[in-house]
Structure 1
């Protein structure tokens, strides 16, 4: 192994060891204009479900998984050369071509959201909702220079090889969310809504550097860094002899809260015309306060390695071992530290929908933007929504993330009696390998749920007519009479 690659691998592992969880969180924008799916109230609390009341089935009601990155697809990581399937780490691979597709920092995200319990009901012009969700968010930031170090080593044999690794980071947050929501139909054109969320922090881990730089020439290497890594869990974390944690986060550990927090959602819907609707929402405006830090590693470090006849890109396992050990020794390890506060990644959404053929077909446009968080993105999604019957709805979408086109979406809603089944994906892969890998996609997601819904149909139409009559009376100052 190249001598500095071991150091690079140690830094890479430092960023990803915290994300030892297949779970995380996300929400599907294709569902935003699927009006018979109660879940869309989670995207905008001003959306009033079309049913009198609904009951989310435990575990089956809503499962949402999302994974993606801003740099590469599977076709960049696995490709054929001379009849063999290789990766960029293969000796014969074109490593420069791979490095060209990378962003300065590759942001990798895994998100998961599962509804454990929920229900909602209508009371005159108001709608009340209640829900309990298990949510986990994780992200990793990998600087391009770290991958340069791993792939190409230190190619400059005369000058200095510089690597800026400051954007190396990782974050995992697991928490239980209990929400109480309220939607008010002010009149037939205006609806407002909001949710209050009570958060119980189950576990948190992160790593971040304000400075991390590596300079290497033929005779020496200089590493300077300032940063930290920490884990907060509802149990004491034992340490290995070198100070590193002996165990990581486990599903079994997520039983006793170690933090608490609050969050809110706000939304508004306004009909400019009977067939033209504007909407906007802010979601996940909130925080979690963690009671303590179970394990922490602080780094304020500068080290120079000299006095060795180091061969650039040559084998020198002793030097690599020295570098790896020095990196471990650069951290000061501690347990049971002070508490701290983290903030949720909030989202802003603005939508517009134009209905055709008595709203049997509609055209939708949705803009979404993250507020805060490690991974920032903006997404614009256009959709065509079909509602030929109450029991069958479908939506086809096409989106652009951070100005880059190429994401097809699909949503299907089937209703039989009280059973309301829906499936949606914002990123439907256009091509799969023989092994089922989405070859050209940077993002994959799936959202599926089964809900019991009651009270749609003639009653809903009667209430709509009732609200329209009230609007006319209010506008003409006619005294209201009972209907």
Structure 2
């Protein structure tokens, strides 16, 4: 949005509809132990996802910002979705025989917040010194203690102009399961499959605010103080300005609250690995399908896995979805007797802007963690 960026050079790089996805998953605490022939796990974690479809026409409207009388923009199928929750889980895996291993996990979910904003159409027409907006859409937001703030437009119609938060806590509850299996086709060839986060959250009526956008109103246009002439305007301030402008553009009127149920962003994984050199080198292929709203996202990743010794393993990978060799990845795993540490990324990025956002790749990913064994595995002593 900075004026120093020419509109044409920015807009020509966009698609008609642009899918945006962001996920975060943090394991706060977890533990696992062997019992008989199986392995139990328990854990508490936090997960969140933000996804949406942003049409190119919205960026055109924001970037150009004005026009002669009668200039029009049609912004269709704008959709933003966010989901954040805590999961408390218990899992179990068990080898059935020398070929099959199956496992599953149950998760009790505590909903922290959810938002779903959708516009079928925003029609903007330049009318004198303001835009005449005709909108059709809906909004649902569920956060404990969420209270809308209201303003009145030029036609004395009340609309939601922001939110206050009081007494934060659980806004909803739900359940989810993970389940999967591996099968050794040959001693050096293994296939696997899993479904992750298959479940739902029901959000309570008292924590939910609903809104509808339907009708005509006037919009003064975007006023975004961005650029070198605004040295004290931080990234956070710019985002606040943008949010305020969008609230005036979206113009939701409050509708009656009601409880609502939402599905989690599930993932379906199918993989295979062929090993050589006494299992020290493996060649893997993984198909991963993430069921985002409003669009399903699938990727295919190939990897080479190197396990020269028991306590060290390394992987390099490449995803075929984005190509141009901007989606290579790596992973390292160290597991001496007193600790296990891993770090990796499926999407490496080499150039970022001052806000650490990748500018030469359309995806970024980082995962890391460690675990500490409290005692040796019992089957190792048998």
CA contact (8 A) 2:162 2:247 kept: no
Tell me, yes or no, if the aligned pair for 1:125 and 1:186 is still in contact at 8 Å. Answer: no
The CA distance in 1 between the partners of 2:41 and 2:321, in whole Å, is 31
CA 410–301 in structure 1, closer or farther in 2 if over 3 Å, else same: same
Q: Report what 1:117 is aligned to.
A: 29
Q: Partner residue of 1:421?
A: 341
Specify the alignment match of 2:240 in structure 1.
Answer: none
Matches within 5 A, 1:390-409: 390-401=310-321, 406-409=326-329
C-alpha distance in structure 2 between counterparts of 1:370 and 1:329, whole Å:
29
Query: Which residue of structure 2 lines up, in the alignment, with residue 150 of structure 1?
Result: 62
Q: What's the offset of the Cα at 1:218? A: 7.8
Name the CA distance, whole Å, in 2 between partners of 1:137 and 1:151: 27
Cα separation, partners in 2 of 1:246 and 1:165, compared to 1, 3 Å: closer
Q: Shift of residue 170 of structure 1?
A: 2.1
User: 1-side partners of 2:377 and 2:29: how far apart?
Assistant: 25
Q: CA RMSD in A?
A: 3.2
> Cα distance, 1:167 vs. partner?
2.4
Tell me the residue number matched to 1:98. Answer: 10
Which protein, 1 or 2, shows the higher relative CO under an 8 Å CA cutoff with sep ≥ 6? Answer: 1
Contact 1:89 1:95 in 2 (8 A): no
The question of whether the paired residues in 1 share the 8 Å contact of 2:339 and 2:371 is answered with yes
Verify the 8 A CA contact 1:129 1:181 in the aligned structure 2: yes
Partner Cα distance (1:437, 1:327) in 2 = 27
Separation (CA, whole Å) in 2 of partners of 1:199 and 1:427:
29
The answer to whether 1:126 aligns with 2:50 is no
Give the conservation status (yes or no) of the 8 Å contact 2:34–2:377.
no
Q: CA deviation at 1:404?
A: 7.0
Aligned length: 350
Q: Which of 70, 75, 86 is the equivalent residue of 1:165?
A: 75
Tell me how far apart the structure 1 counterparts of residues 62 and 369 of structure 2 sit (CA, whole Å): 42
Q: Name 2:252's counterpart in structure 1.
A: 331
- Give the match for residue 296 of structure 1: 210
Q: Is the 8 A contact 2:51 2:293 kept in 1?
A: no
Which among 250, 268, 283 is matched to residue 363 of structure 1?
283
Question: How big is the shift at 1:192?
Answer: 1.4
Maintained 8 Å contact 2:87/2:108: yes
Q: Does 1:191 align with 2:115?
A: no
Residue 277 of structure 1 corresponds to which residue in structure 2?
190
Moved more, 104-113 or 188-197: 104-113
Q: Is the 8 A contact 1:387 1:394 kept in 2?
A: yes
SS of the aligned residue for 1:148 comes to helix
> Structure 1: any 5+ residue segments left out of the alignment?
1-87, 306-323, 464-483
Bigger mean CA deviation after superposition, 173-182 or 216-225: 216-225
Tell me, yes or no, if the aligned pair for 1:346 and 1:371 is still in contact at 8 Å.
Answer: yes
Q: Deviations over 1:46-100 (max 9, x none)?
A: xxxxxxxxxxxxxxxxxxxxxxxxxxxxxxxxxxxxxxxxxx6435x44223212
| CA spacing shift, 1:344–1:200, aligned 2, 3 Å | same
Which stretch shows the higher mean deviation, 344-353 or 403-412?
403-412
Distance in 1 (CA, whole Å) between partners of 2:260 and 2:246 is 30
Where does 1:230-245 land on structure 2 (aligned, <5 Å)? 230-242=140-152, 243-244=159-160
User: Quick one: distance in 1 between partners of 2:292 and 2:7?
Assistant: 33
The aligned residue for residue 88 of structure 2 is 178
What is the distance in 2 between the residues matched to 1:240 and 1:220? Answer: 21
Deviations 1:152-184 (A, max 9, x none): 3466x59x6442322223222221111221212
TM-score, normalised to structure 2, is 0.80
